[in-house]
Structure 1
Amino acid sequence: MSNLSEYLPFIIPLVIIEIALAVAALIHVLKHPNYRFGNKVMWIIVVLIFEFIGPIVYFTIGRGDE
């Protein structure tokens, strides 16, 4: 248990960043109808299943033009 408390200052910001990215990606997926690849359901699954990498992949290659 002492090892976990040593890493908490590093883990907590990563969790907050991951949650913020996932929420931002989900809001964007739900509000915008066009994507470069795939469809809305596929991107929701990617964002939720691949938690840290999914939102980054969506914002880099999946998001369509505004």
Structure 2
Amino acid sequence: MNNQIELSDILPIIAPIIVIQLILMVIALVMCAKAESTRGPKLMWVLIIIFVNIFGPIAFFIAGRRNER
């Protein structure tokens, strides 16, 4: 009847999500820094990428980049 959830039970579920989030964040930050122009100020995108967790980098990939063709 012990209803407590321990960290060792949750860690195998959360660890891959954290790793994916960090990889997305690093890739989005590098792409934002290398981009000549973005849709909106770069500082805004950097803050969104860092503070909006998984959805920030995805939003940058979808809406923040400009087509440079």
TM-score with structure 2 length normalisation? Answer: 0.84
Which residue of structure 2 aligns with residue 57 of structure 1?
Answer: 59
Which residue of structure 2 aligns with residue 33 of structure 1?
Answer: 36
- Highest CA radius of gyration, 1 or 2? 2
- Structure 1's unaligned 5+ residue stretches are none
1:9-38 Cα distance to aligned partner (Å, 9 max, x none)? 111100100000000000000001122x21
Distance 1:13 1:61 in 2: 25
The percentage of aligned residue pairs carrying the same residue is: 35
Distance 1:9 1:60 in 2: 29
TM-score with structure 1 length normalisation? Answer: 0.87
- Structure 2's unaligned 5+ residue stretches are none
Higher helix share: 1
Q: CA RMSD in A?
A: 1.4
Which residue of structure 2 aligns with residue 3 of structure 1?
Answer: 6
The count of residues paired between Structure 1 and Structure 2 equals 65
Residue 56 of structure 1 deviates from its aligned partner by 0.7
SS of equivalent residue, structure 2 residue 63: helix
